[in-house]
Structure 1
Amino acid sequence: MSTLKKVVLIDDDQVNNFVCESIIRNEKFADEVISFEWAEDALQYLQKQSDEDTSHFPELIFLDINMPGMDGWSFIDEYRKLPKQATSSCCLFMLSSAVDRKDILTAKSNDEVKEFFSKPLSPEILDIIREEYISG
């Protein structure tokens, strides 16, 4: 059995999403992985999940910072507006190739962001998340 029911990836890089999905599945980290290349689409999906039945809201989100259209910071601004009964049981992690110290510090100072991880996603990152953030 997997650690989580549902994980959402938000990254404009289709190849990165494919690699992340593969790692998450191979590590049996989640039963379902849903990828979005546009933060706006992910937000719309999350809004629908929070309106219908919060038990279907993802337990974990990996979010990139630098994306066309809505970037990671703008996504977080909108994510904050979702119902707390949905988001309170979801862990949001930044997963980015950004090496700008300001981005890392901003992520770490953000209440919604549990932690900042540098790409690529690895089994070791999933192990850290299992150990430190997911109660089992």
Structure 2
Amino acid sequence: MNTFKKVILIDDDQINNFVCETIIKSEKFADTVVSYEWAEDALANLKKSAEDAPEEFPELIFLDINMPGMDGWRFLEEYRKLPENITSKCSLFMLSSAVDREDIICAKGHAEVKDFFSKPLSPEILSIIREDFVS
């Protein structure tokens, strides 16, 4: 049985999204995986889901930091504006190639961010999430 019903990936790297989707599916981590290369598109769909179909809101989000247009930090600012009764049921993790200590500290300083992981996504990271963040 899969751990989550729906997981979203927000990363401008199409190849990374493909690799992440493959790992998530092979590890039976989620029933559905949806990738967005633009944070703006992800946010628009999350807003629509929160308003029209809260049951479709993802249970987990992997968010990159450095993206063109809306970066991960700006996404978090907008994500905070979504209804808390919906977002509280979603675990958000930063998944980034950024190794800047300040980025890691900043990410962990956001209440919405459960943890920060360095790319690439791996079965070990999914295992950590299962063990530490699934009740």
TM-score w.r.t. structure 1 length?
A: 0.98
Which residue type is aligned with residue 124 of structure 1?
E
Q: SS of the counterpart of 2:58?
A: coil
Q: Could you give the per-residue CA deviations for residues 80-136 of structure 1, whole angstroms, max 9, x where no partner exists? A: 00011210100000000001111010001111100000000000000000011112x
Distance 2:26 2:18 in 1: 12
Shift of 1:53: 2.1
Gaps of 5+ in 1: none
Which portions of structure 1, spanning 4 or more consecutive aligned residues, are displaced by more than 3 angstroms? none
Which residue type is aligned with residue 103 of structure 1?
D
Shift of 1:54: 1.3
Which residue type is aligned with residue 89 of structure 1?
K
Q: Give the corresponding residue for 2:76.
A: 76
Q: Give the corresponding residue for 2:14.
A: 14
Aligned residue pairs total 135
Q: Give the corresponding residue for 1:38.
A: 38
Q: CA-atom RMSD, angstroms? A: 0.5
**Residue identity (%):** 70
TM-score w.r.t. structure 2 length?
A: 0.99
Task: Identify the range of structure 1 (46-55 vs 113-122) with the bigger mean alpha-carbon deviation.
Answer: 46-55
Shift of 1:52: 1.0
Counterpart contact for 1:3–1:28, Cα < 8 Å:
yes
Distance 1:109 1:84 in 2: 18
Counterpart contact for 1:92–1:112, Cα < 8 Å:
yes
Gaps of 5+ in 2: none
Q: SS of the counterpart of 1:45?
A: helix
Which residue type is aligned with residue 43 of structure 2?
L
Distance 1:113 1:84 in 2: 14
Q: Give the corresponding residue for 2:27.
A: 27
Q: Could you give the per-residue CA deviations for residues 56-92 of structure 1, whole angstroms, max 9, x where no partner exists? A: 1000000000000000000000000001121010000
Which residue type is aligned with residue 36 of structure 1?
Y
Q: Give the corresponding residue for 1:126.
A: 126
Counterpart contact for 1:54–1:85, Cα < 8 Å:
no
Distance 1:119 1:91 in 2: 18
